[in-house]
Structure 1
Amino acid sequence: MAAPSHTTSYYAASANDKNIRPALSEQITADICVIGAGYTGLSTALHLAESGFKVVVLEGSRIGFGASGRNGGQIVHSFSRDIDFIEKHYGKETGTEMGKMAFEGGKIIRHFISKYGIQCDLKEAGIFAACNAKQLQEMESKKQLWEAHGHTQLEMLSADSIQQHVGSTRYEGGLLDKSGGHFHPLNLVLGEAAALESLGGVIYEDSEVTRVEEGGKAKVHTKNGCVTADFVVVAGNAYLGGLIPKLEQKAMPCGTQVITTAPLSEAQQKELLPQDNCVEDCNYLLDYFRLSGDGRLIYGGGVTYGAREPSKIESLIVPNMLKTFPQLKGVKVDYAWTGNFLLTLMRLPQFGRIGTNIYYAQGYSGHGITSSHLAGKVLSDAIQGQAARYDIFASLPQYPFPGGRTFRIPYTAMGAWYYNMRDKLGV
Structure 2
Amino acid sequence: MANTPYPQSYYAASANAVPPRPVLQGEVETDVCVIGAGYTGLSSALFLLENGFRVTVLEAAKVGFGASGRNGGQIVNSYSRDIDVIERSVGPQQAQLLGQMAFEGGRIIRERVAKYQIQCDLKDGGVFAALNSKHMGHLESQKRLWERYGHTQLELLDERRIREVVACDNYVGGLLDMSGGHIHPLNLALGEAAAVESLGGTIYEQSAAVRIERGANPVVHTAEGKVRAKFIIVAGNAYLGNLVPELAAKSMPCGTQVITTAPLGDEVAKTLLPQDYCVEDCNYLLDYYRLTSDKRLIFGGGVVYGARDPANIEAIIRPKMLKAFPQLKNVKIDYAWTGNFLLTLSRLPQVGRLGDNIYYSQGCSGHGVTYTHLAGKVLAEALRGQAERFDAFAGLPHYPFPGGQMLRTPFAALGAWYYGLRDKFGM
TM band (smaller chain): over 0.9
1:194-205 paired onto structure 2 within 5 Å: 194-205=194-205
1:242-321 paired onto structure 2 within 5 Å: 242-305=242-305, 306-309=307-310, 312-321=312-321
C-alpha separation in 1, matches of 2:91 and 2:414:
29
Letter in 2 for 1:369: V
1:29-108 paired onto structure 2 within 5 Å: 29-108=29-108
1:399-418 paired onto structure 2 within 5 Å: 399-418=399-418
TM-score, with length taken from structure 2: 0.99
Give the alignment's Cα RMSD to 1 decimal.
0.9
Deviations 1:21-51 (A, max 9, x none): 1110010100000000000000000000011
* Aligned-pair CA distance for 1:215: 1.3
Contact persistence 1:307–1:339 (CA under 8 A): no
* Aligned-pair CA distance for 1:267: 1.1
Deviations 1:99-118 (A, max 9, x none): 01000000000000000000
Letter in 1 for 2:295: G
Contact persistence 2:2–2:206 (CA under 8 A): no
Partner in structure 1 of residue 184 of structure 2: 184
Deviations 1:179-233 (A, max 9, x none): 1110100000000000000000000000010111111111000011010000000
1:121-270 paired onto structure 2 within 5 Å: 121-270=121-270
C-alpha separation in 1, matches of 2:170 and 2:309:
28
Relative distance call for 1:2 and 1:411 in structure 2 (3 A) is closer
Contact persistence 1:87–1:93 (CA under 8 A): no
C-alpha separation in 1, matches of 2:199 and 2:373:
18
C-alpha separation in 1, matches of 2:37 and 2:49:
14
Count of paired positions: 426
* Aligned-pair CA distance for 1:252: 0.1
* Aligned-pair CA distance for 1:276: 0.3
Deviations 1:62-87 (A, max 9, x none): 10000000000011000011011001
Matched, 1:112 2:74: no
* Aligned-pair CA distance for 1:18: 4.3
Partner in structure 1 of residue 387 of structure 2: 387
C-alpha separation in 2, matches of 1:294 and 1:325:
19
Bigger Cα displacement from structure 2, 112-121 vs 212-221:
212-221
C-alpha separation in 1, matches of 2:407 and 2:338:
23
Partner in structure 1 of residue 339 of structure 2: 339
Contact persistence 2:263–2:296 (CA under 8 A): yes
3-state secondary structure, aligned to 2:318: helix
3-state secondary structure, aligned to 1:163: helix
Deviations 1:363-385 (A, max 9, x none): 01001000000000000000000
Contact persistence 2:18–2:190 (CA under 8 A): no
5+ unaligned residues in a row in structure 1: which ranges?
none
C-alpha separation in 1, matches of 2:8 and 2:287:
20
C-alpha separation in 2, matches of 1:384 and 1:215:
19
C-alpha separation in 2, matches of 1:250 and 1:155:
37
C-alpha separation in 2, matches of 1:140 and 1:237:
33
* Aligned-pair CA distance for 1:265: 1.4
Bigger Cα displacement from structure 2, 13-22 vs 97-106:
13-22
Contact persistence 1:37–1:57 (CA under 8 A): yes
* Aligned-pair CA distance for 1:2: 5.4
Contact persistence 1:74–1:369 (CA under 8 A): yes
Letter in 2 for 1:239: Y
Contact persistence 2:37–2:57 (CA under 8 A): yes
1:412-427 paired onto structure 2 within 5 Å: 412-427=412-427
Bigger Cα displacement from structure 2, 15-24 vs 111-120:
15-24
Matched, 1:28 2:28: yes
Contact persistence 2:130–2:171 (CA under 8 A): yes
C-alpha separation in 2, matches of 1:368 and 1:278:
16
TM-score, with length taken from structure 1: 0.99
C-alpha separation in 2, matches of 1:293 and 1:317:
21
